[in-house]
Amino acid sequence: MKKLEICILAAGKGSRMRSEKPKVLHEIGGRPMLNYLIDLAGSLQAHRTHVVIGNGADSVKAAFPDIDINWVLQTEQKGTGHAVQQVMPHVDPDARLLILLGDAPLVSLETVNALISTKSELSVLTVCQPDPTNYGRIIRSDDGQIAAIVEERDATPEQRQISEINTGVMCADAESLRQWIQALTTDNDQGEYILTDIVALARKSDMSVLPVMSGNSQEVQGINTLSQLASAERYFQRSMAEQLMDQGVRIVDPMRFDLRGSLAVGTDVTLDINCVIEGSVSLGDRVRIDPNVVLKDCVIGDNVHIKANTVIDGAVIGNDCQVGPFARLRPGTELRQNALIGNFVEVKKSVIGEGSKASHLTYLGDATLGDGVNIGAGTITCNYDGVNKFQTTIGDGAFIGSNTSLVAPVTVGKQATTGAGSTITKDVSDKGLALGRARQTEISNWKDKR
């Protein structure tokens, strides 16, 4: 069996996207389109992967600094055939070369395996398109082979009724492909070297050209506009949602779900509408995620309830916790079992002990809370002096009164209490009561300017 090499055509500018960003760096599911094809090449265990770059070449290369890729520069944009011409000197003549399109990133491993396993000098991936307008039509011979690929402008009225179209994805023996590529000319309306012209050259040499039809028009959809990018995004997200539902996750509305990374799940997980998953996220058993929640690079234990409109980024949440609504957990946060973080509470780089709670309107930064601590509304840790960050430590069972400012570095002892409205600048001993209020003064019969 011949070894497989892969050529990804990624030199296009994507002018119809009205963006300075190279087309293949536009994202689907939080990753550049080109990322999916590089991953596909890895899954196929390709002997070598060649990526043709042109517009924004430096940006494309910089996006994949640690991946073994043969970058091939197409300095002039003279068509798809010209792009493959640049690659052929780098390809082993005894290999089989798979050609993928950088702007059609969602083709499946199953489909590509069917293409490369077809025994033919040239295999072409096709699909039946409900509206084939502007696509090259597949003209089949009586024996089922591809006789020609006819572009829209050259097609007869009868040929335009054909719904089977060329996707641009091909697989061929490298040596044969080299000969066909060398024979291409620019004798066409575009004045370019057109890759699909190799079909006629192969047929002229009495070589087999077999179609392999995909049953899914969306997986091979090319992306040339932001509208098409949005359509591909929704197809991808629906596919991810279906995979999760097959694993037992209840997704309330799969059309309002976004996965932009990886998600590991336990049993009986429920995701309500508009959940966004970014980076690497792990959810334990019986986790409930309410609407409009963003989860990024976090680990969430069993029996956790994340309430609506909460953002969790870089946090670890233990079993039986509740968070939100309208809460924000920032990187370095750890919630231990049965902790509660309520509405409009922000926590950053802090440990919240078992059974401790901050129910509302609080900021906890660079803090360590013991077990069973109660944080009253309006409490803040004053952890930053404009230059350095300082720690606040609160012992087990402490009660922090509402509207307390804890000026770090400071320690509040076990079972200690701070009075509401206090500013605490000195350590509080175990079981102590600390008050730091200004004395209240009243002037009787006060007559103001009103």
**pLDDT, tens digit (0-9, with 9 covering 90-100), for 193-236:** 989 999 999 998 889 999 999 999 999 999 999 999 999 999 99
What is the per-residue pLDDT for 446?
Answer: 84
Show the beta-strand stretches assigned E in 151-265: 164-173, 209-214, 250-251, 257-265
**pLDDT in the model for residue 13:** 81
Identify any residues that bridge with 369 across adjacent strands, giving them in sequence order: 394
Q: 410: part of which helix (H) or strand (E)?
A: strand 410-412
The predicted pLDDT at position 153 comes to 85
d(CA 280, CA 295): 9
Q: Hey, what long-range contacts does 398-403 have (CB within 8 A, 24 or more apart)?
A: 398/370, 398/373, 398/374, 399/373, 399/374, 400/373, 400/374, 400/375, 400/376, 401/376, 402/376, 402/377, 402/378, 403/376, 403/377, 403/378, 403/379
b/e map 351-380, b = 16+ CB within 10 Å: bbbbbbbbbbbbbbbbbbbbbbbbbbbbbb
The arrangement of secondary structure in 226-434, i.e. its CATH architecture, is 3 Solenoid (2.160)
What is the residue extent of each domain of the chain? 4-214, 226-434
CA distance readout (Å), 9 to 52, 103, 200, 325, 448: 5, 8, 21, 46, 77
CB 296, CB 316: distance < 8 Å: no
H or E stretch at 98? strand 96-101
Domains 4-214 and 226-434 share a fold: no
Q: Calculate the alpha carbon distances from 196 to 27, 148, 168, 402 in Å.
A: 28, 9, 8, 73
H/E stretch holding 114 reads helix 109-116
The residue ranges of the chain whose pLDDT is under 70 are: 449-450
Instruction: Report, as residue numbers or ranges, the catalytic residues.
Output: 360
For residue 53, what are its two tokens? 């770059």
pLDDT the model gives residue 88: 96
Q: What kind of architecture, by CATH, is found in domain 4-214? A: Alpha-Beta Complex (3.90)
